[in-house]
């Protein structure tokens, strides 16, 4: 009986201490003010914050949750200018990858995310017309919390190559893709990692001029890629690969790495001018081969499109042997009437 009373006393004391430490949220808009924080998720890292901060057209915000002065979670978002051709307009949209990073396994993760999401929504909608959450761990991540904060979900697709259970990255490539890689190399194309500012500038310029509107409508300034190399190369959180022919950059890809996964963020090539060198194919092949050699379990292709319509880039990357995975993206508009209409449409 005494043991039971003592045990109950300890439990009560624990909850008393827990209740005495309310969750504190701090929002950072300047990299110089961000303290040293734990974590391994690149999409919520201080390095990525600084990349956004140094890229024209981007405004990052980082929300840090702490208890008793100790950080327990963080959530990084970026507000960027988005240009639309039809109808012509310039809007600001806020993009978030995942639902944050959490450092304390004993905390109520859903409750912490709820508080961070509410803070993010209030602050981001002052500047942005739209908030979008993408690349969630699974389709149910944060479901109740998003609904509570009046977000609506749209079904999406992810394409991911598994690398941990194969001897080589090329094992699941289609036969035609293997032939194209061999032909491209035979016809004089070379692949390597970019390091110098001149290589990265030429890569970004090539990608900017040759990026198909079918892949994505938004393309960051060249500063983004320079900062990607500057902020993340030493920690090996990113790599830029280039495809060259007669010392000219004709293709390339930019990857970011987080925990045990690689993410192909941007890729492309001058496929019409240098059709026989297959620059776009070699750029993706090098990213997959490198990720396999460095021990990453997966490589994911980012932004492969909606599931209910054909998407040229998705069809292209699937021939490298990846699998389609159903997921969701969550959206919230500033205009309440529009948001209510879309919530009803997508319930």
Look up the CATH number of the domain holding residue 171. 3.40.630.30
What is the DSSP secondary structure assignment for residue 176, as one 8-state letter? Answer: H
Are residue 168 and residue 134 in the same domain, yes or no?
no
Query: Is the confidence at residue 83, as pLDDT, over 70?
Result: no
- Using DSSP bridges, classify how beta strands 130-134 and 323-333 pair: parallel, antiparallel or unpaired: antiparallel
Specify whether 214 is located in the same domain as 311: yes
pLDDT at 336 over 90: yes
**Phi then psi dihedrals of residue 81, to 5 deg:** -75, 135
Q: Would you say residue 340 lies in a domain?
A: no
Q: What is the pLDDT of residues 151-189, one digit of tens each?
A: 999 988 889 999 988 889 999 899 999 999 999 999 999
Do the Cβ atoms of 301 and 318 come closer than 8 Å?
Answer: no
Report the pLDDT value the prediction gives residue 154, as an integer from 0 to 100.
Answer: 92
Residues 184 and 301 occupy one common structural domain = yes
User: Considering only CA atoms, which of 100, 118, 101, 105 is closest in space to residue 38?
Assistant: 101
Tell me if 110 sits within 8 A of 63, measured CB to CB.
no
Residue 8 lies in a domain: no
Predicted confidence (pLDDT) at residue 87 exceeds the cutoff of 60 = no
CB 271 within 8 A of CB 279: yes
Structural domains counted in the chain: 2
The boundaries of the domain holding residue 240 are 159-325
**Inside any domain, residue 224:** yes
For residue 32, is it within any domain?
Answer: yes
Residue 67 and residue 38 in one domain: yes
Relative to beta strand 190-193, strand 130-134 is unpaired
pTM of full prediction above 0.85: yes
Question: 129 and 184: one domain?
Answer: no
| Rg, C-alpha atoms of the chain | 22
């Amino acid at each position: 009986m005494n043991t039971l009373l003592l045990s109950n006393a300890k439990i009560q004391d624990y909850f008393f201490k827990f209740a005495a430490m309310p969750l504190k949220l701090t929002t950072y808009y300047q990299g110089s003010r961000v303290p040293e924080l734990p974590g391994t998720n690149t999409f919520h890292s201080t390095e990525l914050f600084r990349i956004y901060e140094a890229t024209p057209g981007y405004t990052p915000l980082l929300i840090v949750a702490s208890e008793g002065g100790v950080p327990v979670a963080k959530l990084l978002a970026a507000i960027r200018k988005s240009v639309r051709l039809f109808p012509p307009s310039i809007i600001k949209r806020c993009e978030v990858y995942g639902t944050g990073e959490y450092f304390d396994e004993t905390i109520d993760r859903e409750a912490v995310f709820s508080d961070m999401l509410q803070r993010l929504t209030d602050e981001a909608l002052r500047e942005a017309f739209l908030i979008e959450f993408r690349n969630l761990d699974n389709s149910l991540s944060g479901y109740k919390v998003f609904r509570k904060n009046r977000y609506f979900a749209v079904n999406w697709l992810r394409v991911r190559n598994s690398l941990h259970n194969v001897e080589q990255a090329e094992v699941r490539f289609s036969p035609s893709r293997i032939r194209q890689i061999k032909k491209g190399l035979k016809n004089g194309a070379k692949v390597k990692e970019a390091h110098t500012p001149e290589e990265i500038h030429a890569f970004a310029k090539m990608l900017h001029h040759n990026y198909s509107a079918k892949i994505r409508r938004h393309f960051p300034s060249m500063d983004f890629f320079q900062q990607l190399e500057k902020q993340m190369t030493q920690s090996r959180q990113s790599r830029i690969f280039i495809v060259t022919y007669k010392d000219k950059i004709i293709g390339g890809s930019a990857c970011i790495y987080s925990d045990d996964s690689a993410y192909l963020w941007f890729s492309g090539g001058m496929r019409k001018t240098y059709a026989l060198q297959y620059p776009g194919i070699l750029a993706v092949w090098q990213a997959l081969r490198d990720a396999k050699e460095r021990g990453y379990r997966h490589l994911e292709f980012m932004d492969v499109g909606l599931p209910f319509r054909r998407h040229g880039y998705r069809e292209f990357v699937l021939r490298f042997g990846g699998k389609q995975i159903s997921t969701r993206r969550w959206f919230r508009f500033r205009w309440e009437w529009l948001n209510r209409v879309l919530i009803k449409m997508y319930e």
